[in-house]
A and B are shown apart, each in its own frame.
Chain A
């Protein structure tokens, strides 16, 4: 997208304000999955969306929700395309998104993605008590994008949005 019209800006804000179906504390904009909103013609808009994980089952609901919010804004013809490249990364989650995740009880992903031993050595902070003394229980949790951990200080289990 080389230039963005004011209408496209407005529609992007609208589409970006849609909450994530599985993590409603985050908007799609904060999750970083909304790639572009383009007006193709009068009443005709194309949205590009990228999945967090290839098999993310929430993508269908995201598409329907985006269509709905744009329909409600008077755009009759909305097509939402799913794009894979460039691949989504947890680094695409905004700072505000990370803050909200922690507030919601989910440890946010560490910056820099999963590559290399450096990221792995950084401590993951318990979102409940703030302790960095936490241990991995399972690499996979309630959804593919989360790992299950336990805090050694307050003993509470918690989800960690794992680096991708």
Chain B
């Protein structure tokens, strides 16, 4: 691992780790039992990907539990709070579409992330399909579900621009075409779901693509506090 590749592994690994934790928060709270199971399974896939990626960088537990907020390199999108189910599905649609396209490109190359990407993209296909099916169901459902789904999409739109900024150490990716393909794919789903593609800027004026630089939003600190509490309070504890 070159230092540059390590930076790339950290960015991709933190995306997977943080979203995994957020999805894990749904356990016991999802609208129906099947969704509890589905979201936990998606979280588990992401956790597995995170473990592989963080292990390329160093000790996975140290990296997950002992880093400060500023040392995390995940996108701000994945650290956003779950909100209601529509909000979480909007986040899933945005991120899984991105991850599917990004890992597809990485899998087709011969870079350091190709083996993991080739493996993970098959899992992510199911994540994206899950998000698409729910987007269609909520968007083309009741007035209430439609409105909530649209609200989630609108609220998270300003965090989507960061996904298409080149990531240090993640080579062989055509970020411009990634952005175009993402927009086409998401727009197609939203259209079929009778939803509107948000129109505002894809980055907040204050954010400056910040997650990758270690600048995070307010909910992230609270999430980390919960995620890291046990490990920090009881160092070396085992089951």
Contacts and interface: CB of A to CB of B under 8 A. Distances in A.
Say whether A associates with B: yes
Interface stretch (B114-122, B141-149, B155-163): B114-122
Interface string B43-73: 0111111011000000000000000000000
A140 B130 contact: yes
A89 to B, nearest CB: 8
Interface string B166-186: 000000000000000000000
Interface stretch (A27-35, A49-57, A100-108): A49-57
Contacts of A148: 34, 37
A114 interface: yes
Contact of B37 (A53, A113, A142): A142
Contact of B116 (A54, A56, A137): A54
Main secondary structure of the interface of B (DSSP, over half): helix
Contact of A139 (B52, B115, B129): B129
A139 B38 contact: yes
Nearest to A146: B41
A17 interface: no
A152 interface: no
A138 B32 CA distance: 11
Interface in B99-157: 114-116, 118-120, 122-123, 125-126, 129-130, 133
A76 to B, nearest CB: 26
Contacts of A57: 44
A51 B46 CA distance: 14
Contacts of B133: 139
B78 interface: no
A94 B115 CA distance: 23
A87 B119 contact: yes
A143 B41 contact: yes
Q: How large is the interface on B (under 10, 10 to 19, 20 to 34, 35 or more residues)?
A: 20 to 34
B34 A138 contact: yes
A142 B130 CA distance: 16
A46 to B, nearest CB: 18
Contact of B48 (A53, A85, A88, A164): A53
B41 A144 contact: yes
A114 B34 contact: no
Given A114-B122, A148-B34, A54 B41 contact: no
A158 to B, nearest CB: 14
Interface of B: 34-35, 37-38, 40-42, 44-49, 51-52, 114-116, 118-120, 122-123, 125-126, 129-130, 133
Given A53-B44, A85-B118, A138-B37, 14 more contacts: A54-B52, A55-B44, A55-B49, A84-B115, A87-B115, A87-B118, A89-B122, A138-B35, A139-B129, A140-B38, A140-B40, A140-B130, A141-B37, A142-B37
In the A-B complex, list the 3 residue pairs whose CB atoms are closest, starting with the nearest.
Answer: A55-B48, A54-B48, A85-B115
Interface size class of chain A, counting residues whose CB lies under 8 Å from the partner chain: 20 to 34
B216 to A, nearest CB: 24
B42 to A, nearest CB: 7
Contact of B38 (A113, A114, A138): A138
Given A84-B116, A85-B118, A137 B41 contact: no
Nearest to A88: B119
26 contacts: A51-B48, A53-B44, A54-B45, A54-B116, A54-B119, A54-B120, A55-B45, A55-B46, A55-B49, A55-B51, A84-B115, A85-B114, A86-B118, A89-B122, A114-B122, A114-B126, A138-B34, A138-B35, A138-B38, A139-B38, A140-B34, A140-B38, A140-B126, A144-B41, A144-B44, A144-B123
